[in-house]
Amino acid sequence: MKTLEDIKAMSYQEKDELEDLVLEIIDNNDLVKLKDILKDYPVKISCYELNIKDEDGDFPLFDPFNLIIRAAHAC
């Protein structure tokens, strides 16, 4: 499982690639892979902690709104 420090140490590019992977998994409705990813990146830390910083401000690793919308479209 990734810690908050691990997530904070990620570059913007790493974060973006990981989010693309998660969204692809959601689009494919692959719940097994999604569950495996969420074991490594707990929802509380990944979706609700402002752990990524860039010039526009602070934001979570995964945007929960985007995840929910993609999941709704995948169903």
Domain count for the chain, please give it: 1
Give dist(CA 37, CA 44) in Å, integer: 13
pTM of the model: 0.84
Query: 54 by DSSP, 3-state: which?
Result: strand
Give the pairing type, strands 52-54 and 57-59: antiparallel
The pLDDT tens digits for 28-70 are 999 999 999 999 999 999 999 998 887 888 989 999 999 999 9
Higher pLDDT, 27 or 12: 27
Domain that holds residue 12: 4-74
